């Protein structure tokens, strides 16, 4: 089965290819499927929830390609910041540009806002919501993953992407930036959600 994964994030693509490497699925990403980037894609992530954003992205690309499609919307929620950056995780700092530059700016903004906060105020969690369309007119299915931790006072490690260097995983006792890809995949929010998706597709005989 060919599955379109509706993301243009280099970091997410790398991670998802690992997570689904043994699934038997043939993965395609928008560029592979001949869907060039268009400015209206920016409006797909203006919903008020992760579910809404994932649904809009999945439906958009399923209709563009006719392929079974999954879209991910994920982010970091910090308790003391009222759940921020949340659905604005990618745009938290307001900086635009290459993915690595945006990640650095977002991490710097998060650390600035939490400067001097005690450990109890640094509790956080990563969330991931996937929405899957088997065909463009199908009833969508949702899959979720959550992992808990806290925000460090300074970045540790250079692995992963996004907020990984400042997120200390409760499960691993180290930051996702210090973890190996295999360690992160085993406990991460995205790993949980994609394993659920793969299991469901396997049960469906796909």
Q: Residue 14: pLDDT above 70? A: yes
pLDDT for position 40: 81
Q: What is the pLDDT of residue 52?
A: 96
Q: For the segment 128-152, what is each residue's pLDDT rounded down to a tens digit? A: 999 999 999 999 999 999 999 999 9
SS3 (DSSP) at 124: strand
Predicted confidence (pLDDT) at residue 205 exceeds the cutoff of 60: no
Is 191 in contact with 19 (CB distance < 8 Å)?
yes
CB contact at 8 A, 173 and 164: no
Catalytic residue among 31, 72, 73, 171: 73
Asked if pLDDT for residue 204 goes beyond 80, the answer is no
CATH code for 2-203?
3.90.950.10
Banded pLDDT at 184 (limits 50, 70, 90): very high
Confidence (pTM): 0.90
Mean pLDDT (whole number) for 88-111: 95
Please give the structure tokens belonging to residue 52.
């809404």
pLDDT > 70 in the chain, percent: 99
133 against 34, higher pLDDT: 133
Q: Look at residue 206 in the predicted model and tell me its pLDDT.
A: 52
Residue 87 CB: number of other CB atoms within 10 A?
22
Decide if 31 is catalytic: no
73: nearest Cα among 127, 16, 20, 120: 127
* Residue-wise pLDDT tens digits, 42-93: 888 888 999 999 999 999 999 999 999 999 999 999 999 999 999 999 999 9
Mean pLDDT of the chain: 94
What is the torsion angle, in degrees rounded to the nearest 10, for the CA atoms of residue 23, residue 10, residue 196 and residue 48? -150
Instruction: Kindly state the tokens that stand for 35.
Output: 């869907």
Mean pLDDT over residues 114-133, rounded? 96
């Amino acid at each position: 089965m060919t599955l379109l994964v509706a993301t243009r994030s280099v970091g997410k693509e790398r991670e998802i290819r690992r997570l689904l490497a043994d699934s038997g699925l043939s993965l395609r990403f928008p560029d592979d499927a001949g869907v060039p980037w268009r400015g209206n894609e920016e409006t797909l992530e203006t919903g008020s929830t992760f579910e809404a954003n994932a649904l809009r992205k999945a439906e958009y690309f399923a209709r563009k390609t006719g392929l079974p499609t999954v879209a991910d919307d994920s982010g970091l929620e910090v308790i003391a910041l009222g759940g921020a950056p949340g659905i604005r995780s990618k745009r938290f700092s307001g900086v635009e540009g290459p993915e690595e530059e945006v990640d650095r700016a977002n991490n710097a903004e998060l650390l600035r806002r939490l400067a001097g906060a005690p450990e109890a105020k640094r509790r956080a969690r990563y969330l991931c919501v996937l929405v899957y369309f088997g065909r463009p007119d199908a009833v969508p299915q949702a899959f979720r993953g959550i992992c808990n931790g806290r925000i460090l006072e300074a970045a540790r490690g250079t692995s992963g992407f996004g907020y990984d260097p400042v997120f200390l995983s409760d499960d691993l006792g180290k930051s996702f930036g210090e973890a190996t890809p295999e360690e992160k995949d085993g406990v991460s929010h995205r790993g949980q959600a994609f394993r659920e998706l793969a299991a469901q597709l396997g049960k469906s005989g796909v």
